[in-house]
């Protein structure tokens, strides 16, 4: 495995250029780690499926994508795409719109009726997955592909978890989610709805399950003590979003205050506007720089008429009046009370103060450890203290997002598969990440990312999807903006640059090899490789 310490910057080569009597360094072809791949919590090989999409090989690109993530149409809509924040193209013009291409491939699969590749032969092993949210669905999918029989027990009436009941339909149409869930079922996964697990050991024994993956998420609202006298309607954001997703239209009134600063608060306020509120105001005790919500979530809420009152905390609710206190940010980034008090009015108050997991039923299982906040303690192999019982998603400590949950499901499936075979699974060592300074790019003209059309503000009165997908030619063009960081894409630059004809082409898809009998170590190939798929290493010592 190539280490970063083995890698030589171009400036070190000046004294070693040319065909001297002794070659100090030799070039080698390497596959380094693109920053998008490195940043993806679901572990997608983004560069690989973008490369296939560049050539219009959309089904092959989708199959490469779903080798890691079975929900691309969903993720292309709701993932916060940390891959794009890491994209080296940010230093050139703008990041590749990876999420838009991912959504395009997921939508193509639905339109064309693509099915997952057939699973491995049956293993004879049975696995119970508790919770049909994103983590449970991902785990079930990867286990089924490995030939295991999977049964999911879901407490709700529909699979999807927070995808179904926590994310508004204007971001994720339910038909798109249902299609991806149905494709997982078609792989052989059995989903039992309205089946809440209260005695895990009994369910495991009754079903003859060899292993269990628990992924019930965090769908219980956290509360804060706020004195309330004859309060206006007060409810939590999770319940509000759940009820709206279930087809209800809660009566919130004309003025709605949402208390919190996360993504759920933004969704709750935007939902309140769609339910008819003339004024939806978010009250948050910190400033924008310290809010947990993503910047674009706040931007979209503000564009739709949501107001945000920063540095404000609710002290008391008395009827329609809210007593609030102004805050300031201290040196440690925490809010500090100022003593300045004012009064706001609201017909309804929605609390969006975070979510907790309802994991109490696991206390009945010996050796499963729970933290005070209800999260479950797991090891590096995703297994709890009880043999054969694994856990993941929002119910384990760590960052919470749909993509993190799906990544947990995949990792858990690998570990469960190994455990069922009395083996161990070790993740392969990751090669060095390629940053922008390591690239040897030719002169590029700026190429702005393909824009996704958005529903005009005046038309966002209901729950119709706000953002549209890309057309095929736009998706292909967007994929072609990928710089293929660290991975050879057979551009022939090295082949053309070599003055000694020391590079042998091996045919399409097979890349190249070096004829070291001819190579002088001049590094011309290294300096002409745009994506840093060539490294100069110290010449091996002669025996």
Q: CA–CA separation, 281 vs 243, rounded Å?
A: 20
Task: Tell whether 307 is covered by a domain.
Answer: yes
CB neighbours of residue 69 within 10 Å: 26
- Angle formed at CA 348 by CA 343 and CA 352, multiple of 5 degrees: 95
479 CB burial (10 A radius; 0-12, 13-18, 19+):
buried
pLDDT at position 18 is 45
Domain shared by 271 and 243, yes or no: yes
Q: CA–CA separation, 309 vs 282, rounded Å?
A: 6
Select from 387, 388, 389 the least CA-distant residue to 376. Answer: 389
Task: Tell whether 143 is covered by a domain.
Answer: yes
Domain shared by 386 and 448, yes or no: no
Task: Tell whether 348 is covered by a domain.
Answer: yes
Domain ranges, residue 151: 126-219+357-420
Tens of pLDDT, residue by residue, the chain (543 residues): 555 555 655 444 434 444 455 788 999 999 999 999 999 999 999 999 999 999 999 999 999 999 999 999 999 999 999 999 999 999 998 999 999 999 999 999 999 999 999 999 999 999 999 999 999 999 999 999 999 999 999 999 999 999 999 999 999 999 999 999 999 999 999 999 999 999 999 999 999 999 999 999 887 777 777 877 666 688 899 999 999 998 999 989 999 999 999 999 999 999 999 999 999 999 999 999 999 999 999 999 999 999 999 999 999 998 889 999 999 999 888 899 999 999 999 999 999 998 888 888 999 999 999 998 889 999 999 999 999 999 999 999 888 899 999 999 999 999 999 999 999 998 889 999 999 999 999 866 567 788 899 889 888 878 999 999 999 999 999 999 999 999 999 999 999 999 999 999 999 999 999 999 999 999 999 999 999 999 999 987 764
Domain shared by 72 and 165, yes or no: no
Q: CA–CA separation, 260 vs 313, rounded Å?
A: 9
State the DSSP code for 433. B
- Residues whose CB is less than 8 angstroms from the CB of residue 111 and which lie 6 or more positions away in sequence, other chains included: none
316 CB burial (10 A radius; 0-12, 13-18, 19+):
middle
Domain shared by 266 and 197, yes or no: no
pLDDT at position 13 is 46
pLDDT at position 254 is 95
Half-sphere exposure of 351 (CA within 13 A, CB side): 17
Domain shared by 232 and 347, yes or no: yes
Overall number of domains in the chain: 4
C-alpha dihedral, 57 to 59 to 61 to 66, nearest 10°:
180
Task: Tell whether 427 is covered by a domain.
Answer: no
Point out which residues pair with 314 in neighbouring strands.
324
Domain limit, last residue, from 371, 391, 420: 420
Task: Tell whether 428 is covered by a domain.
Answer: no
Q: Beta strand 149-153 with 190-192: parallel, antiparallel or unpaired?
A: parallel
Place of tokens 């296939």: 52
CATH number for the domain that contains residue 88: 1.10.1060.10
What are 304's two structure tokens? 């739709």
Helix H, strand E, coil C: the string for 405-425 is HHHHHHHHHHHHHHHHCCCCC
Domain shared by 457 and 500, yes or no: no
Q: CA–CA separation, 363 vs 386, rounded Å?
A: 11
CATH number for the domain that contains residue 504: 3.30.70.20
What are 385's two structure tokens? 């203290």
Domain shared by 295 and 240, yes or no: yes
- Residues whose CB is less than 8 angstroms from the CB of residue 516 and which lie 6 or more positions away in sequence, other chains included: 26, 502
Global pTM value: 0.91
Q: CA–CA separation, 132 vs 152, rounded Å?
A: 7
Domain shared by 133 and 70, yes or no: no
Domain limit, last residue, from 296, 323, 353: 353
Task: Tell whether 429 is covered by a domain.
Answer: no
Q: CA–CA separation, 33 vs 11, rounded Å?
A: 22
pLDDT at position 17 is 47
Task: Tell whether 431 is covered by a domain.
Answer: no
Domain shared by 322 and 394, yes or no: no
Domain shared by 469 and 497, yes or no: no
C-alpha dihedral, 174 to 176 to 179 to 184, nearest 10°:
-90
Asked if residues 433 and 163 have their Cβ atoms less than 8 Å apart, the reply is no
What are 256's two structure tokens? 């709605």
Domain shared by 293 and 311, yes or no: yes
Domain shared by 235 and 334, yes or no: yes
Q: CA–CA separation, 210 vs 123, rounded Å?
A: 11
pLDDT at position 20 is 52
CA 213 to chain centroid, in Å, comes to: 20
Helix axes 134-145, 402-420, angle to 10 degrees: 40
Domain limit, last residue, from 353, 369, 384: 353
CATH number for the domain that contains residue 190: 3.50.50.60
pLDDT at position 222 is 75
Task: Tell whether 434 is covered by a domain.
Answer: no
């Amino acid at each position: 495995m190539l280490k970063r310490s083995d890698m030589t910057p171009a400036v070190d080569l000046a004294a070693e250029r040319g065909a001297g009597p002794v070659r100090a360094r030799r070039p080698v072809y390497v596959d380094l780690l693109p920053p998008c791949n490195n940043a993806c919590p679901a572990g997608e090989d983004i560069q690989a499926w973008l490369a296939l999409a560049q050539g219009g090989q959309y089904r092959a690109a989708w199959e490469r994508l779903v080798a890691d993530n079975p929900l691309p149409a969903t993720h292309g809509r709701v993932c916060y795409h940390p891959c794009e924040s890491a994209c080296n193209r940010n230093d050139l013009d703008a990041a590749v719109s990876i999420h838009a291409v991912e959504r395009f491939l997921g939508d193509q699969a639905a339109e064309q009726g693509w099915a997952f590749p057939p699973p491995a032969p049956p293993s004879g092993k049975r696995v119970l997955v508790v919770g049909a949210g994103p983590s449970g669905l991902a785990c079930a999918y990867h286990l089924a592909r490995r030939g295991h029989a999977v049964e999911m027990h879901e407490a709700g009436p529909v699979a999807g978890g927070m995808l179904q009941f926590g994310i508004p339909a204007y971001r994720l149409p339910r038909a798109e989610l249902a299609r991806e869930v149905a494709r997982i079922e078609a792989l052989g996964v059995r989903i039992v709805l309205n089946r809440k697990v209260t005695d895990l050991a009994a369910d495991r024994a009754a079903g003859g399950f060899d292993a269990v993956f628990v992924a019930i998420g965090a769908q219980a609202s956290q509360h804060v003590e706020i004195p309330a006298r004859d309060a206006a309607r007060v409810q939590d954001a999770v319940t509000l979003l759940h009820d709206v997703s279930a087809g209800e239209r809660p009566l919130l009134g004309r003025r709605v205050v949402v208390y919190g600063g996360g993504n759920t608060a933004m969704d709750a306020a935007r939902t309140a506007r769609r339910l008819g509120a003339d004024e939806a105001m978010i009250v948050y005790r910190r400033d924008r720089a310290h809010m947990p919500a993503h910047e674009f979530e706040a931007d979209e809420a503000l564009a739709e008429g949501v107001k945000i009152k920063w540095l404000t905390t609710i002290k008391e609710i008395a009827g329609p009046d809210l007593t609030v206190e102004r805050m300031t940010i201290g040196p440690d980034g925490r809010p500090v009370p100022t003593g300045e008090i004012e009064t706001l009015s609201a017909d309804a108050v929605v609390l969006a103060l975070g979510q907790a997991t309802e994991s109490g039923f696991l206390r009945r299982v010996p050796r499963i450890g729970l933290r005070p906040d209800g999260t479950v303690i797991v090891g590096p192999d995703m297994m709890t203290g009880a043999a054969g019982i694994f856990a993941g998603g929002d119910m384990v400590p760590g960052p919470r997002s749909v993509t993190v949950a799906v990544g947990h499901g995949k990792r858990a499936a690998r570990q469960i598969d190994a455990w069922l075979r009395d083996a161990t699974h070790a993740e392969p060592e990751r090669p060095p990440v390629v940053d922008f300074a390591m690239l040897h790019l030719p002169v590029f003209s700026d190429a702005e990312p393909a824009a996704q059309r958005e529903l005009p503000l005046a038309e966002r009165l209901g729950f119709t999807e706000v953002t549209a997908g890309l057309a095929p030619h736009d998706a292909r063009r967007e994929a072609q903006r990928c710089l293929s960081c660290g991975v050879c894409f057979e551009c022939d630059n090295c082949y053309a640059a070599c003055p000694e004809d020391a590079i042998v082409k091996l045919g399409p898809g097979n890349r190249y090899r070096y004829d070291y009998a001819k190579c002088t170590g001049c590094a011309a190939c290294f300096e002409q490789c745009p994506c840093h798929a060539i490294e100069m290493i110290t010449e091996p010592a002669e025996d």
